[in-house]
Amino acid sequence: MAPRVRKFALTVHLMFSIGWIGAVVAYLALGISAVTSQEDRTVRAAWTGMELIGWLAIVPLALASLVTGVVMALGTKWGLFRHYWVLFSFVLTIFATVILLLHMPDVSYLADAAQEAEGASLKALGGDLGHPGIGLVVLLMIQVLNMYKPQGMTRYGRHKQSPARTVLAL
């Protein structure tokens, strides 16, 4: 990948990845509001907001982050399967995205239920804290991996880098 294209791709990837983290923080704030508020309309609004942020911000940002991450890995010297930190980041991103996609229909169901519920049944819905809390930790782990790039090549990466392979390629 040419340096300018690589910088552009990296910029786009970082925007999507950091945006994903920010959207999860906003979602988590709404979940906390749903748990702590004594006002029925605040709880309803929080659930509506969580559904909207989930489908309209978090899901697109997660998918865009996954796609741009693969582009970055395949278009740079790091490769997708050569270094453990890239592979772990990729696996964690896929894991987080799959869990998100499986969880969002539940969020929509609970947001709809919050609109109909009253009093104690509304309070029983609580807020969605577990998924976004764990998700935020996973996303921050991915960011740390991508910033520090711990050493260690996969078996595939060592094979691709071996001198015998270089001589054969000539």
Give me the residue spans of the domains in the chain. Answer: 3-169
The 10s digit of each residue's pLDDT in 115-145 is 999 888 988 988 899 999 999 999 999 999 9
pLDDT score of 166: 52
**90 and 70 Cβ atoms separated by less than 8 Å:** yes
Is 170 a residue whose pLDDT tops 60? no
pLDDT score of 157: 75
The 10s digit of each residue's pLDDT in 33-87 is 999 999 999 999 999 999 999 999 999 999 999 999 999 999 988 888 888 889 9
- Tell me the whole-structure pTM to 2 decimals: 0.88
pLDDT score of 82: 87
CA–CA dist 168, 89 (Å, integer): 31
pLDDT band at 169 (very low <50, low <70, confident <90, very high): low
The 10s digit of each residue's pLDDT in 90-118 is 999 999 999 999 999 999 999 999 999 98
Contacts of 95 (CB under 8 A, 6+ apart): 138
Contacts of 45 (CB under 8 A, 6+ apart): none
Burial zone of 48 (CB within 10 Å; 0-12 exposed, 13-18 middle, 19+ buried) = middle
